[in-house]
Structure 1
Amino acid sequence: MNKSIHKGLRILLFLSIGIVILWWLYRDMNPDELLRIIKNDVGYGWIILSLILGLLSHISRTIRWQMLIEPVDKRPGVVNTFLAVMIGYLANLAIPRMGEISRCGVLSKYEQVSFSRLVGTVVTERVLDLIMLLLALALMIAVQYNVFVDFVNNKMDISGIVNFFSSWWFGLIVLFAAGAIIVFRQNILNSQMYFKLKGLWLKFKEGLFSYRNVKNKPLFFIHTLLIFVLYFLMIYVCFFGFPFTRELGPGAGLAVFVLGSFGMVAPVQGGIGPYHFMVISTLLFFGVGAPQAAAFALLVHGSLNGMIIITGLLSLVAIPLVNKSEQP
């Protein structure tokens, strides 16, 4: 019970932080101006296209997950796998990181696939997603290198950080930490924290290399790339739906996609708050006005999460009906 209360309080804490960030971002915004932009300045055909691209990315993720499951168990049906994926996304909106467990539980129930093996495939997925996000970040820096350097030089004051890492204080801290590790080495190796970190590393390592059992590796990597290409296009096509982002170009779209993705990684339901902060800050840097950037973040985030809520709820209703004939 205490563990459940602790978990619930942690979830509420992160949600509260996200709401506070959202309030802080929009506290000085004129609601009438935001509504005017959303009502009059948006080409909603582009938003609909964005949602279609989002659904295609979920289908691609479904196929990739099937390919990961097949070597460790039987290949599940595409319909059940897709519905489980969408239920997982819905669960993530309620409780961060719950979606990974939820979709494994749903697919295990309806396809009679080992739950623990499904969890192992999700670890693989998460490792691949992290690698792709880091590659997207590297591509963003390469494509927008001059902009990135200008941002660091003119918009960020990192002199304090540089001075700290070059100071004798930092050297003293490093020496003290190294000495403490040597003296308390045995205690560290026998600590519960060490075993937890070791377990996480082993899962990470297992997930990183488990793709080797996939039968069609070229197709598997095509879907891994396709998922992130569709994610990027899902954001970039929205640029054409707003007059103030239409001329920014794919480089700016890549920056909004990558930095917005880091906002979505935050342990807050649906990335509420952190996502808006990252997207608004990025658009401001590219010269978009504050009300326009705020409206863009609000509408894009709302539409994408609205699509997940609708498809997730429909999946919850559909999956028992789809499998009704197979139930005893």
Structure 2
Amino acid sequence: MEESGAYPKSDKVLTSLLLGYLVNSFTPKFGEIIRCTSLQKTTKVPVAVSMGSVMAERAYDMLILGLGIFAVFCFEMDRLQGIFESTIGGISHIYGYRYLYVIPIAVLALFILFLISLRRIKKSERRPIKKIVEFLQSMFLSLKQGLLLKKRFQFILLTLLIWTMLVVLNYIYLLCLPETSGYPFSFAIVILFIGGIGWALPSPGGIGTTHFLLLQLFLAFQLDPNAGISFGILSNGLTFIGTIVIGGYGYFRYRVETKTLKKQ
């Protein structure tokens, strides 16, 4: 966010972040919007600026997740190919094979239409439309500046630390269950990136999507499926409870901060 010239206080950013986590636990990623709107109320940082910063943050998250998935597939292609086939097969069984080709074509067509419409919209003199255009321009400028990264070394170091801690956390979950306590540390890495697909999908707290992928992962490695279900319930359940606790604390902080601003 500093790349866009906004310097909100760290405690205010933390409050909005925790509040966003809380909302994400019950909604499909709507917490990102709440995170930006709550930050605007407590720091006056425009929503467009914080939204662009969040988009840059998520872009780097997806990049790391994608690289991790690619690396895992390179080492475990024979086993993990079954997950891809079963996932695609399940979707095609529900919606039909033809939709697998229609959806990406439709998305591409909508994107092209959006670009064409945007050029025309920019020339409009209507006030509501001009406001929307200004918002989008500010958001994409913030996104572009956020991707440049002023503090590259610090960002890379903290990113590596975060993902390393996530691997360690998954390994601790494996050690907690008698059925998985003997699994190697490398399996925790596989769990992180394959299970991370479920977290990246627009589902409340990764519930359902993560459990499905973890079950498929355990089956692909010819492990006890019940252990996969238990691991999913343990890891996702503890994460959900932890998010509710810290998110509730974030909501309390937000209420206090907004009341303080009203008195000023």
Specify the TM-score bucket, using the shorter chain as the normaliser: 0.7 to 0.9
Q: Quote the residue 1:207 is aligned against.
A: 143
Asked whether the 8 Å contact 2:173–2:234 carries over to 1, the reply is no
Asked whether the 8 Å contact 2:18–2:250 carries over to 1, the reply is yes
Q: Quote the residue 1:72 is aligned against.
A: 4
Asked whether the 8 Å contact 1:263–1:274 carries over to 2, the reply is yes
Q: 1:298 to 1:153 in 2, by over 3 A?
A: closer
- State the TM-score, normalized to the length of structure 1: 0.60
Instruction: Choose from 159, 183, 191 the match for 1:248.
Output: 183
1:209-257 Cα distance to aligned partner (Å, 9 max, x none): 6332x43221022223222222222222211111222222122111111
Alignment of 1:221 onto 2:156: yes
Unaligned segments of structure 2, at least 5 residues = 90-100, 119-132
Q: Quote the residue 1:105 is aligned against.
A: 37
Instruction: Choose from 292, 295, 299 the match for 2:234.
Output: 299
Q: Quote the residue 2:27 is aligned against.
A: 95
Counterpart CA distance in 1 for 2:82 and 2:24 is: 37
Asked whether the 8 Å contact 2:22–2:248 carries over to 1, the reply is yes
Number of equivalences:
229
| RMSD over equivalenced CA pairs, Å | 3.5
SS in 1 for 2:156: helix
CA drift at 1:271? 1.7
Instruction: Choose from 145, 148, 151 the match for 2:77.
Output: 148
Asked whether the 8 Å contact 1:264–1:274 carries over to 2, the reply is yes
Q: Quote the residue 2:220 is aligned against.
A: 285
Unaligned segments of structure 1, at least 5 residues = 1-68, 161-172
CA drift at 1:288? 2.8
Counterpart CA distance in 1 for 2:237 and 2:176 is: 15
Alignment of 1:118 onto 2:50: yes
Asked whether the 8 Å contact 2:3–2:145 carries over to 1, the reply is no
Written as runs of structure 1 = structure 2, the 5 A alignment for 1:224-239 is 224-239=159-174
Written as runs of structure 1 = structure 2, the 5 A alignment for 1:18-29 is none
Letter in 2 for 1:317: F
CA drift at 1:97? 2.0
Asked whether the 8 Å contact 1:87–1:103 carries over to 2, the reply is yes
Larger Rg: 1
Letter in 2 for 1:314: Y
Asked whether the 8 Å contact 1:87–1:312 carries over to 2, the reply is yes
